Amino acid sequence: MSIGIVLAVILGAGLAVGILAAFGRTTRSREGNFSSGALSFLGSASLSSFILVAAFLIAGSWSNLNTARGHTWDEARALNAAYTDADPSTRPLLRSYVDSVIGQDFSAMANGNAAPTAWSSLDAVRTHVEALPASPQRSTLVSDLDDIYTKRQIRLADTSLSLPAPLYPALIGTGLLVLLYAPIAGLTFHRRESIALGLVGAVVGFGIYLVLHMTHPYSGPMHVTPVAYQQSLDRFSQLSAQPTPAAPPVAPMGN
């Protein structure tokens, strides 16, 4: 378990008990001298607000995560198709590109960037293919590479996926409102009440931590992994074991 999750739970529980200690000692809290209608409205409004904001952020972040994951599989399928159509001299270059995606691209995308090494590897594939003499196989490879470039650009664009920034402070504010409601409603600062509200605070803290660490599809506890490209490497090995057409001769550079 991430140390951040543990700290968020402890912080939420401690904050809840602290709020109870600060606001649960008043005469009105001890006597429970409040309007039942007002308490019901305040409790429903505070809890509903927190759930609404949290649910919106979780749903949006999860949708972004699934979208980004789907785009990695789209590129992996395009790579598999290119490897199937490629001649023996081109296949090692495609494998080198996939290795650079797994090794460098994913680390860079966690910071919102693309790895120059991966771009260079893909450009090397295109340069090699363009040097081959005109043939149906070369035309197919060029088309496959165009598809890979497009899929790669889409994948890199996913690093900028985000949700409206004001929702995050709203999540924290509504979470605090949920905890403040208890002493306002009459919960007093005793051991049993402190334990109960502390558990609620732990859940609120965990929820806030989870949402705040789902803001980027390529970083955080739940993020897109390069499993699609690792499976492409497995597929490459399978295809390499099958007979492939001989590579066409490289076109002469000059007389």
**Residue 69 placed within a domain:** yes
41 within 8 A of 125, measured Cβ to Cβ: no
pLDDT at 66: 95
Per-residue pLDDT band at 248 (split at 50, 70, 90): low
Q: What is the percent of the chain where pLDDT is above 70?
A: 78
**Does the residue 250 lie in any domain?**
no
* Residue 255 covered by a domain: no
Tell me what pLDDT residue 166 has: 86
Helices H / strands E in the chain, number of each: 10, 0
Kindly state whether residue 7 falls inside one of the protein's structural domains.
Answer: yes
User: Alpha-carbon distance 247 to 250, whole Å?
Assistant: 9
Model confidence pTM above 0.85? no
Residue 30 CA, distance from chain mean position? 46
Task: Identify whether the C-beta of residue 47 lies closer than 8 Å to the C-beta of residue 210.
Answer: no
Q: What is the mean pLDDT of the chain?
A: 84
Domain that residue 58 falls in: 3-28+35-240
Q: Is the pLDDT of residue 145 over 90?
A: yes
Asked whether residue 169 is assigned to any structural domain, the reply reads yes
**Is the Cβ–Cβ distance between 45 and 181 less than 8 Å?**
no
Asked, for residue 245, whether it belongs to a domain, the answer is no
pLDDT attached to residue 187: 66
Following DSSP, what letter does each residue of 113-133 receive, concatenated? ---HHHHHHHHHHHHHHHTSP
* Pair of tokens at residue 156: 């890199």
Overall average pLDDT of the 5-18 stretch: 66
- CA–CA distance, 94 with 126 (Å, rounded to integer): 10
| CA dist., res. 26 & res. 123, Å (int) | 70
* pLDDT top residue among 69 and 201: 69
CB burial class (10 A; 0-12, 13-18, 19+) of residue 88? exposed
Q: State the pLDDT confidence band at 255, using cuts at 50, 70 and 90.
A: very low
Q: Which pLDDT value is given to residue 206?
A: 87
Could you tell me if 204 and 17 are in contact, meaning their C-beta atoms sit under 8 angstroms apart?
no
Listed in sequence order, the residues at least 6 apart from 142 whose beta carbon sits closer than 8 Å to its beta carbon are 129, 130
Task: Please count the structural domains in the chain.
Answer: 1
Domain-located, residue 248: no
Q: How many CB atoms lie within 10 A of CB 97?
A: 25
Report yes or no on 213 lying in a domain: yes
- Helix or strand run (H / E) with residue 227: helix 227-240
| Structure confidence at residue 252 as a pLDDT band (50, 70, 90) | low
